[in-house]
Chains A and B, each alone.
Chain A
Amino acid sequence: MSDTTLEQRSGQVSEDELKIANVSRRRFLKGLTATGALVIAARWTPSALAQSEEPDDKAKYGADAMAHGWVDNPDVFISIAPDDTVTIINHRGEMGQGIRTSVVMVMADEMGADWQRVRVEQAIANEEKYGNQNTDGSRSMRHWFDPLRRAGAAARTMLEQAAAKQWGVPVSECRVEVHRVIHGPSRRELSFGKLAATAAELPVPERKSLKLKSQKQWRYIMREPKDFPRENDAQPLAVDGMEMLNGKALFAADVSWDNMLYAVIARPPSYGSAVKSVDDKKALAVPGVVKVIQMPTATQPSGYEPMGGVAVLAESTWAAIQGRNALAIEWDDKPAGANATYDSVAFRAELEKRAQQPGEIAGQQGDIQSAREAAAKSLSVDYYAPHMAQAPMEPMAAMVRIDGDKADVWTSVQNPQAARDGVAKRLKLKPQNVTVQCGLMGGGFGRKAKPDYVFEAADLSRAMDGRPVRVQWTREDDLHNGFFHTVAVEHLEGYLDDNNRVSGWLHRSLAPSISSLFVADADHQSNSELGMGIRNMPFDIPAIQQENGEAEGHIRIGWFRSVYNVPHAFAIQSFAAELAHLAGQDHREFLLELLGPDRQINPGKKDIFNYGEDPARYPIDTARYRGVIERATKEAGWGKKMPPNRGLGLAVHNSFVSYCAIVMDVEVTEGGEVVVHRADIAFDCGPQVNPDRVAAQLEGACVMGVGIALMTEITAKDGRIQQDNFHQYLVPRINEAPREIHTYAVNNSLDIPIGGVGEPGLPPVAPALCNAIFAATGKRIRSLPVADQLKS
């Protein structure tokens, strides 16, 4: 698979080329059809018609509940050229999870295509056609495995029917082998390319008539690379693999249009600040600077609206950056209100104070008061988890041009439809007249779920009468003007009875909500945020009380990989270890006892957020918690004698309907440095469609989690973010990453519905690491990151 990336030219892409790449697969396909080409033509049904046959009044879950749902029509995704090339459309966003490979793998395998003759094409934003494209919430395979299998199976069926027709034999005598159909009795065969035209004439078979392949029949799905067919050289399939290593892969800033201007923007230092005055004389004197444009200031709550500020447009990125440096801007902090004095240290103290008072009840069972009164031992502690920035290695970039009633966008976003509809709205264009083509995302982690940077480019192109403009964010912009991870104080109280069993558990959580980005005065966590670890906590404890404390946002709060699971899991899994210590018991045994007997808890009964999934299909299953704990601890040699200053730490967490347990092997040096020797990660997401990419996600989450535990933090003072770049905003480097990471698949079976992969590996890392620090040193970390807390 050599010729695979989006638009594989490293240089300028001409208008005509872009039209072909961008638009309209329809037009593209028409071109092919004109020369008598392909099989499965562009005759798709709108997704609304393809949706589940559930009656409307029934609660919708999973992909059914997403905007524009799912599509399983092969016409939408698959085409075959006479030369046997199978082109498969990937409609999900690629940000490192390998979804372009996995999506294509599923359809190719079901239809019987040979990987060497498959190429992938990236869909433009068009959910009406492709179904939901919002790549977020660890949903791609969870929601799309079944529909994509059906699309592949339908294509296979049509090819068999086409062969039967061409040969004049019963279809039952025809079967797809690799990239060709064989007539059993006569051993005749026709390649996919030779069947294309006939297949194109056939109706798409009924969904119910489709025969899906069994696991045994798959060549790629659920296989380790070493088990792939030999011609693939036992390498992991990776559609963009080599392009990422030879410079040809195209990200958001790698395509340019003729006459394009480069823009950088000086954005307000605080959320809500406005430009009071700007002196742009010096900026305009910088060679290459073309124009300085003042942007409208976003009002609070901003949603996805750009913050505003002053844009410098120039003939190169460097000229734009220098022009921006030369601006003299006076900011008006008044519209920002309290945000302009935001101080994250003071806010922490305020949250810690509020944490001593009851919050709104979020969950309750038994009587916490009696547990408290009857307790033989008790523990009351606060945990703290700071703001963070997603800081994908690729800073945001977007290019827009407007031509009459049409606009083109080249960018990389997690939610292309939101970009398309948002651009259409602000430019007053029809959404279908806005073509959003996405390159690869150089990391997303939730940041690129907000298309504010695309809107900036649209506004600037409009200000330049439609001229192409690329907005380039710098790292400083990313860290100063982001949509940040929340900040949290988690107050925990635990009560032990005379037998050292936990009789009562109180969890009071205070963290600004992502709702504060969209709703004025939203100052408590939402139900979905509380459902990320707190309300769905499965512990078998007689009295549990969960409370939701007041916490307002002073910077823009947004999604960060695993979201509220990060602080919640840190607190809950640290506290369970602390209670084990208080009870004088082994942490692993204690944790298994807290989970109680194997049982399935129906989260629907208590109206607990279940990541949008059907509670009957995806119950909370304590046996799966136990399964991952047992596997990780076994592989790590839990209980073995450790060298001095070295310890094992355990944590388990369920998020995005997957289960993950981690054991970390950690050493704390004399100087207080933390060395992570090894991580053993047991993961249960049900069937692993692309096991190598699942392992890669777990490894990556582990490294990111080590950063969350040890070094990663955003702070604010006087309403300004204090970290400018990676020398102050610390993320792990190769010397700080675990020396070894081992991953283990648990319940890797089609008997279980698929869970999420990209996010659930992250939440247990920090608590496992801090529990290991405790095992190594006896020092309990309750505030993230560790930073220099272990240094004397």
Chain B
Amino acid sequence: MIKLTVNGESRSLDVPADTPILWVLRDTLKLTGTRFSCGVAVCGACTVHLDGNPIRSCVTPISMAEGKHITTIEAMEKDPMGQRVQRAWMDEAVAQCGFCQAGQVMSAVALLKNNPNPDDAQIDRQMSGNICRCGTYPRIRKAIHRAAESGSVSVDESLFTEVKA
């Protein structure tokens, strides 16, 4: 049994310890908003937050989440920064097929929580792990700037930790 919380709910999961978090979310918990695309941590589609840090859930075993908090795209509607990013994404009409966008939003939320006003170089650095085959990058850049501009928001400072690309 692995005990952890997912989007604020405590869970005890009976799954093999080496199962990647991605497949626990998708197949066991039916939280299908987190996407599978490369499976080897090179595209960012599966990005979730583990104790506030963005991670690639396709290569992170569930055992690493023991006693920790996983936050997925499904929780972003209730997260102040998540809402702000979603709003900015809508205003810029970023999404095309939408498949990469859950991961893009999770990376952008982590970026903005860590760095409320990133410049282009910082956006490049933090977002280059997320591939969008539809090519929505120019709008992603605009939407991040827009979210950064759209006023301050109360953020739990304890969640600030090093962002891993």
A737 and B40 contact, CB distance less than 8 A: no
Interface on chain B toward A: helix, strand, loop, or mixed SS? loop
Interface residue from A10, A317, A475, A732 paired with B38 (Cβ < 8 Å): A475
What is the interface of chain A, defined by CB distance below 8 A to chain B?
10-12, 94-98, 225, 235-236, 238, 240-251, 253-254, 256, 262, 287, 316-318, 321, 391-395, 440-445, 472, 474-476, 692, 696-697, 699-704, 725-727, 731-735, 737-741
Interface residue from A225, A316, A443, A739 paired with B99 (Cβ < 8 Å): A443
Interface residue from A245, A317, A699 paired with B76 (Cβ < 8 Å): A245
Of the listed residues A95, A240, A241, the one surrounded by the most CB atoms of chain B closer than 10 A to its CB is A241
* CB pairs A–B below 8 angstroms (29 shown): A10-B74, A12-B30, A94-B97, A96-B134, A225-B93, A235-B90, A235-B93, A245-B90, A246-B33, A247-B33, A247-B72, A248-B33, A249-B33, A251-B99, A393-B134, A395-B37, A440-B99, A442-B99, A443-B133, A472-B36, A475-B37, A697-B96, A702-B135, A725-B40, A727-B40, A733-B129, A733-B131, A734-B141, A740-B138
Interface on chain A toward B: helix, strand, loop, or mixed SS? loop
Q: Which residues of B contact A11 (CB under 8 A)?
A: 30, 32
Interface residue from A243, A253, A316, A445 paired with B28 (Cβ < 8 Å): A316
B74 and A318 contact, CB distance less than 8 A: no
Binary interface encoding of chain B residues 106-138 relative to chain A, with 1 for a CB under 8 A from any of its CBs, else 0: 000000000000001001110111111111111
Please give me the residue from chain A that is nearest to B89 by CB atom.
Answer: A245
B99 and A393 contact, CB distance less than 8 A: yes
Those of B1-49 within 8 Å (CB) of chain A: 16, 19-20, 23, 26-28, 30-40, 42-43, 45
Q: 4 smallest A-B Cβ distances: which pairs?
A: A247-B33, A442-B99, A703-B135, A244-B98
Interface size on B, residues (CB 8 A): 60
A238 and B102 contact, CB distance less than 8 A: no
Given contacts A235-B91, A241-B93, 9 further A-B contacts (CB under 8 A): A10-B74, A262-B27, A287-B16, A392-B97, A393-B35, A442-B37, A725-B38, A734-B128, A741-B138
- Whether, in the assembled complex, B70 has its beta carbon less than 8 Å from a beta carbon of chain A, the answer is no
- For the complex formed, measure the closest distance between the CB of B146 and the CB atoms of chain A, giving whole angstroms: 12
- For the complex formed, measure the closest distance between the CB of B112 and the CB atoms of chain A, giving whole angstroms: 15
Please give me the residue from chain B that is nearest to A251 by CB atom.
Answer: B99
A733 and B128 contact, CB distance less than 8 A: yes
* Cα-based distance from A241 to B105 in the complex (angstroms): 13
- For the complex formed, measure the closest distance between the CB of B64 and the CB atoms of chain A, giving whole angstroms: 15
- Whether, in the assembled complex, B77 has its beta carbon less than 8 Å from a beta carbon of chain A, the answer is yes
- Whether, in the assembled complex, B81 has its beta carbon less than 8 Å from a beta carbon of chain A, the answer is no
A440 and B37 contact, CB distance less than 8 A: no
- Whether, in the assembled complex, B148 has its beta carbon less than 8 Å from a beta carbon of chain A, the answer is no
* Cα-based distance from A703 to B135 in the complex (angstroms): 5
Q: Which residues of B contact A735 (CB under 8 A)?
A: 124-125, 128
Question: Taking A245-B105, A247-B34, A703-B137 as contacts, is the C-beta distance between A238 and B95 under 8 angstroms?
Answer: yes
Interface residue from A249, A318, A732, A739 paired with B19 (Cβ < 8 Å): A318
- Whether, in the assembled complex, B50 has its beta carbon less than 8 Å from a beta carbon of chain A, the answer is no
A245 and B95 contact, CB distance less than 8 A: yes
- Whether, in the assembled complex, B140 has its beta carbon less than 8 Å from a beta carbon of chain A, the answer is yes
* Cα-based distance from A544 to B7 in the complex (angstroms): 66
B96 and A98 contact, CB distance less than 8 A: yes
B32 and A254 contact, CB distance less than 8 A: yes
- For the complex formed, measure the closest distance between the CB of A238 and the CB atoms of chain B, giving whole angstroms: 6
Q: Which residues of B contact A94 (CB under 8 A)?
A: 97
* Cα-based distance from A224 to B160 in the complex (angstroms): 39
